[in-house]
Amino acid sequence: MISEDCVEKRHEPPGYNSRSLSVAHTAADLEVLREIENVYFSPPSEFDAARYVLEHAPTPTTCEAVELMFTKLKRQQQVVSGKALHLISQQRDNCDREFAEIQIIREQLSKTLETCRKAREHLCTASNNLTISTFVILANVRKRQIIKSVLKSLELLRSLRSVEKDVAELLNKKEYYEAIELILKSRKAAASHKEYTCIADLSSRLQDTLDMTEEKLDSVLSSICYNFDEDVFKKLKKAYDLLGKTQAAMEQLHMHYSSAVNESAIEAVKPFTGEISIETKFQEMCLGVPPNKAPNCLLNLCEKLFMVMRSYYLLVDWHSKHDEEEKAQASSNVFDIEKNVSREYIRQKLKAGLIRIWHDVQAKVSTFLKNSGLEEYPFEKFIQMLGILRKLTQVAEIFCGDTSDLLQDFIKTQSVSYIKNYHRGRMEELKLFLENEGWEQCPVKSTFNLLNLQEFKQFKKYLNPSKADQSIAVKTGSQSDTTSSVHSQDDSVYIARYFKYKTTQTPFEIFRDENVTNDDIFGIETELEPSDDSEDEPDELKRDYVDETDRDSITFDKPAKSPSKVKESVIVTNTTLSVLRNCGQYLQISRYLPQISLEVIMLMNQLFDYYFYAVHLFFTTDLDVASTTLYSTKLSAALKRISNNINSPGEEDAKNFVCPDLPQHLDMSSEANLHGLSERIVAVESAIFLAKQFELLQPYLETIVAQHQKMILEHFKDNTLAVAVDLRMPVYMCSASKAVDARSALIAMSQVRWDVKNVAVENSPYVDMIIRKIQVFALRLENIASKVSLNLKVLNSIWSMVSKFIVHLLVEGFSNATKCSNGGRGLMQLDYRQLFVKLEKISGLKPIPYQDYVDRYVKAYYLPRNELEEFVLERTEYSNKHLLALVACACENKRDRQALTAIIESRESLA
């Protein structure tokens, strides 16, 4: 048998093997091919190779030359033959296929010839056997077939001509899939009938119709961005699937959503601006929004942007459900695998789109806030703005799970800036109020506190301990679900309703309700327990000022007929109420923005500091006695701290506030009104009342600041609020020091002889003179009590200052005595005891404070040498003048007198 190798090699040329094949591809063969002259490749009919070689034989013609030429030509022939055979071998497969096709054609021709032969035989038989009528029938059948073919073509032409109209009708009916399907079928039909010239023209028109239809689909796709319709989107997706452009459509849809955010923002702001050109940028439009329209513009902006976010959220939700259904029906074939890949791509694209759209929304809102004059918002509108932004962050959390850190930081920064600017206005307003305050008591009940003000009503459950347990009980189940407000529901559930259900409303609808409260806006639980009508704020207090004409019509506690009968009273001014109302507004901001609570509390403290400092400034300018014993260490430190933060009139410092000007309308020089004692009382007691209200707020303030910030509150409470009562001493001393004419009293005391030998049985005349002055003071104080509710604390403070002044006056008068005997010392004791007994009856103070100051001084006359030295060293409350007079009268020994005098003078040098 013939081997397979032989079979494979039968087509190869003789003497041609694999080795020679490889040689043909060597560089040497290529070089030989390059050396062959081009003339040798000419057709044989045009070129005689032998003659050409003979004509170009080498000269001289020697055997060696001829042999060399022969060898060269033979080598060239071998290389060309080998190259030709190699090319032929490469094309052998193609040649075999061509021969096979030729063979098939031969077979088909044979069958065709056989068919034609049989047809001729049948025709011959028919011509011999059939009649003419039969041929007529056959001809008619043939004509009918031709006519049917023509009618079919005409019907095709008619249908192709009406494609545009039919597609338009389908698009109007929102049958996008059917419209695309019709166009594609028409194109296929047109492609199969290109023999008609008119159909060739229609093909281009069908392509234009398809392009226009895709544009229409894109237009409908863009409308989805504003109001997602599940039915419409299903049809759109089905149409894009038919076109094979699902992913491209998704890319285009995301571009439409980005455009929708921008267009919605422009449309929301445009109604609130004046005339603007088409080319105006969004930032420039925001600058053109008037501050009084900005809050409503922000609300409109958030509503418009929410509709875009809601549409995208529904789109993502629809795809999520649709993907689950398709996965349940999917198989492992190639087409389903491709669909899974496409679905995964779309899913990732949609997920990334959530964050991108939210960032676009954040950017638009932030741009608006930066350029809308936020600092000029009215306070209520600012609170509303905070509520809108808070609602927007909650929407973002439902939309894409983003915590809106950028927007939160922006809100915090802008809020701090706003509240500082707002606070500066309140401080300027407070300065104006203080400078024009009449310091008259505002008529309120004896139980009045800040909880009676409208601004603090929402804080009752936090600040009123008596109702805390009731509040807890109500929260734990006394209120049924049917009566709970919709805004007390969980925010995520509440806002999710607007995303998942088909509705034209938005979560921002609440801000268009004029009756809605701030607690409703911020979703904060309102006070559940019923309010006590007796504690409600009177209508008169809801005004900025309480007019004097309203006093008789307000059913408040009237001042007592006798000061001694008043145990408790509340003394406030219109300015005090204004400060409290401002604090209530500040607390609302801290309640809705806990992250800036400390900044807000510090601004509240500045309000108190300014009020406290102004009271001291206004009513201690005429203090004409030594103040060393009137100011406690904490009071001095607090006043110094506040003064460092207050500019003098005329100075400009953005960080500090201007010191108020001294009021010129107050009469503090008349003895009839005890040198403005009524105004002093109202001022000091209103400052003390204000401090108590701040102390009432402290427990709540500690709950809204961080743990490490509580020390700031404690320091302010201990070093500022706690020292407000210390303000009574210097202020009341200004009037108390004028109750008795010090100069006349000292002159009268100097006329008394203190060197008498016998003890007197009657007090000195100056005592009666002082008592008469005190009685006049008491009568005038009674007149003041008819205007101001003087409680026991106030009265005791006033009489304490009178007592303090008198004891210092007595010591000063006693120290003026150059000579003093034992009888004179007895007279001193008799005088001050008689004076204090009568003062006790007039003032009601038991015992009279500060009388030890006189008692110790008089008894020091009786001390022996050693104890007197200790007295001089330890009793720093007495001046050197007092001690020198004491030593001069008490020491009869000159040496002891000189020694003690030296000790006193050395104490002065040390001081």
Q: Which 3-state string (H, E, C) describes 706-755? A: CHHHHHHHHHHHHHCHHHHHHHHHHHHHHHHCCCCCHHHHHHHHHCCCCC
Q: Is-contact 29 23, C-beta < 8 A?
A: yes
Confidence at residue 389, expressed as pLDDT on a 0 to 100 scale: 84
CA atoms within 13 A on the CB side of 671: 10
Nearest CA among 876, 799, 862 for reference residue 829: 862
Structure-block tokens of residue 209: 């119709």
| pLDDT tens, position by position, 743-766 | 999 999 999 988 888 777 788 899
Burial group, residue 262, by CB count within 10 angstroms (0-12, 13-18, 19+): middle
CB 757 within 8 A of CB 819: no
Instruction: Tell me, rounded to whole angstroms, the distance of Cα 437 from its chain centroid.
Output: 38
Q: What angle do CA 182, 187, 191 make, to 5 degrees?
A: 150
SS3 state of residue 646 = strand
Residue matched to tokens 């500690």: 702
User: For residue 649, what pLDDT is reported?
Assistant: 58
Is omega for the bond preceding 864 within 30 degrees of 0, making it cis?
no
| Distance (Å, whole) CA 143 – CA 139 | 6
- Nearest-angstrom CA–CA distance, 353 and 644: 55
Q: How far is CA 290 from the centre of its chain?
A: 21
Q: What is the pLDDT of residue 3?
A: 43
- How far CA 794 is from CA of 668, 728, 837, in Å, comes to 19, 8, 21
Residue at token pair 């902006």? 301
According to the model, what pLDDT value does residue 731 have? 94
Confidence at residue 402, expressed as pLDDT on a 0 to 100 scale: 78
The confidence score (pLDDT) of residue 520 equals 59
Q: What is the pLDDT of residues 849-884, one digit of tens each?
A: 999 999 999 998 888 888 888 898 888 888 888 989
Cβ(81)–Cβ(13) below 8 Å: yes
| Spans of the chain, pLDDT less than 50 | 1-21, 23-24, 466-489, 525-537, 540, 544-565, 911
Nearest Cα to 618, choosing from 686, 674, 683, 670? 683
Query: How far is residue 749's CA from residue 813's CA, in Å, rounded to a whole number?
Result: 6
**How far apart (Å, rounded) are the C-alpha atoms in residues 890 and 897?**
8
Beta strands in 522-628 (DSSP E): none
What CA–CA distance (Å, rounded) separates 559 from 795?
14
Amino acid at 441: Q
Instruction: Write the burial class of residue 846 (CB in 10 Å: 0-12 exposed, 13-18 middle, 19+ buried).
Output: exposed
CA 698 to CA 463: how far, in whole Å?
9
Contact 798, 732 (CB under 8 A): yes
In Å, how far from its chain's centre is CA 752? 78
Helix (H/G/I), strand (E/B), else coil: 655: coil
- What's the rounded Cα separation, in Å, for the pair 203 and 391? 55
Q: Which amino acid is at 370?
A: K
Is residue 196 left, alpha or beta, with left meaning phi > 0 and alpha meaning psi from -120 to 50?
beta
Quickly tell me which residue has 């008609």 as its tokens.
196
Is the bond preceding 43 in cis, omega lying within 30 degrees of 0? no
The CB density around residue 15, as the number of other CB atoms within 10 Å, is 8
Assigned token pair, 452: 């009676």
For residue 133, the model assigns a pLDDT of 74
Q: What is the predicted pLDDT for the residue at 148? A: 82
Beta bridge mates, 657 = 646
- 794 close to 685: Cβ distance less than 8 angstroms: yes
Residues 6+ apart with CB under 8 A from 276: 270, 284, 285, 288
Which residues partner with 646 through β-bridges?
657
What residue segments make up the domains of the chain, in order of their start? 2-142, 245-400+479-528, 404-464+562-731, 732-910
Q: According to the model, what pLDDT value does residue 492 have?
A: 63
Give dist(CA 343, CA 323) in Å, integer: 7
Closest CA to 116 of 333, 108, 538: 108
